[in-house]
């Protein structure tokens, strides 16, 4: 007991590492960090907020009950609130993504586990969906594209739904009316800064349910759909109008022309100006649709 009382307490979002990139959403705090404290100097410590740790580089020592010991990149760990441990990097060049869960969502995870748990990687079976979400989260944190906030929010909510066992039990093969309403709101308001909690309020469901159901029925997240709608609108305006690029960017919800250019190039393989110059008819790009 005395050891636990002496352990330093880390508040939500605090870790032994140097932040490289961070994105704060309505329900989560995402951050990629580089490990800065040598292994022998990491004390036993207590995390006050529930959080996920995704190892992206280096060898990591964990006290997680289902795989205590050394873990490699790709290991995904969930730590409940109040956990005391001495998890640390064995290698000097460690990097990880932390996902701190906010109070509005943390209650979904309270019944999932009371002990630290590896949820993907390290040979843990049945974790393909979680591993995929982890890769998407890392890509979004590093990408710096538009809609990153709503995309990451959705991915975090999906992760919460999987771990907590929160699923839509209906056997319907068609999306429920409330989900179709959410989809329509995104398509009608794609140029605005939408948030999943706002969509959930408008449709009368919890954000966790909305995010999980969206992927189940449509095959992509609300944030990915929002990004798709913006890009398709840009594509249409480039081909059908002579509107200046900066005006297209603002009309389609981008903060500036450079943000639109990065997003467009990442999906269509060329910047908007070149796409317009080619008439949208190079290598089949006229019919290209943004991927999820």
Q: pTM above the 0.85 mark?
A: yes
| Dist CA 135 CA 74 (whole Å) | 9
Beta strands (DSSP E) in 103-216 are 117-120
Pick the CATH number of 230-287 from 3.40.50.1820, 3.40.50.10320, 2.30.22.10, 1.10.10.60: 1.10.10.60
DSSP 8-class letter at 39: G
| Dist CA 252 CA 230 (whole Å) | 6
pLDDT of residue 67: 85
pLDDT of residue 170: 61
> Which strand (E) or helix (H) includes residue 31?
strand 28-34
pLDDT at 199 over 70: yes
pLDDT digits (tens, 9 = 90+) for 223-271: 999 999 999 999 999 999 999 999 999 999 999 999 999 999 999 999 9
pLDDT of residue 289: 43
CB neighbour list of residue 196: distance below 8 Å, 6 or more residues apart: 26, 27, 150, 153, 154, 157, 207, 210, 211, 222, 223
> Which strand (E) or helix (H) includes residue 19?
strand 18-24
For residue 284, what pLDDT band results from cuts at 50, 70 and 90?
very low
pLDDT of residue 222: 97
How far is C-alpha 219 from the geometric centre of its chain's CA atoms? 16
Report the CATH architecture of 2-143. Sandwich (2.60)
CB neighbour list of residue 141: distance below 8 Å, 6 or more residues apart: 21, 22, 23, 30, 31, 32, 97, 148, 152
Map out the domains of the chain as residue ranges.
Answer: 2-143, 230-287
pLDDT digits (tens, 9 = 90+) for 119-164: 999 888 778 999 999 999 999 999 888 899 999 999 999 999 999 9
pLDDT digits (tens, 9 = 90+) for 45-73: 999 999 999 999 999 999 998 887 899 99
pLDDT at 189 over 60: yes
């Amino acid at each position: 007991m005395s050891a636990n009382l002496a352990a330093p307490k880390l508040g939500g979002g605090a870790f032994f590492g140097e932040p490289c990139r961070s994105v704060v959403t309505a329900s989560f705090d995402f951050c990629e960090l580089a490990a800065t404290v040598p292994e022998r100097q990491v004390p036993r410590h207590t995390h006050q907020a529930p959080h996920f740790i995704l190892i992206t580089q280096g060898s990591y020592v964990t006290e997680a009950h289902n795989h205590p010991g050394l873990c490699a990149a790709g290991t995904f760990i969930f730590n409940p609130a109040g956990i005391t441990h001495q998890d640390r990097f064995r290698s000097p060049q460690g990097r990880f993504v932390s996902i701190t869960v906010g109070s509005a969502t943390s209650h979904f995870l309270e019944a999932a586990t009371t002990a630290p748990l590896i949820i993907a990687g390290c040979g843990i079976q049945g974790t393909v969906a979680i591993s995929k979400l982890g890769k998407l989260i890392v890509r979004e944190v590093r990408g710096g594209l538009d809609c990153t906030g709503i995309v990451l929010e959705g991915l975090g909510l999906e992760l919460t739904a999987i771990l907590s066992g929160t699923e839509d039990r209906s056997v319907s093969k068609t999306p429920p009316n409330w989900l179709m309403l959410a989809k329509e709101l995104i398509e009608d308001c794609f140029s605005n800064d939408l948030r999943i909690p706002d969509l959930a309020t408008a449709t009368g469901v919890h954000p966790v349910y909305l995010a999980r159901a969206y992927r189940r029925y449509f095959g992509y997240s609300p944030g990915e759909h929002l990004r798709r709608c913006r890009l398709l609108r840009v594509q249409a305006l480039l081909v059908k109008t002579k509107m200046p690029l900066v005006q297209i960017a603002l009309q389609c919800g981008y903060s500036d022309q450079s943000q639109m250019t990065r997003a467009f190039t990442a999906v269509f393989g060329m910047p908007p100006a070149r796409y317009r110059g080619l008439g949208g008819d190079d290598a089949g790009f006229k019919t290209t649709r943004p991927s999820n």
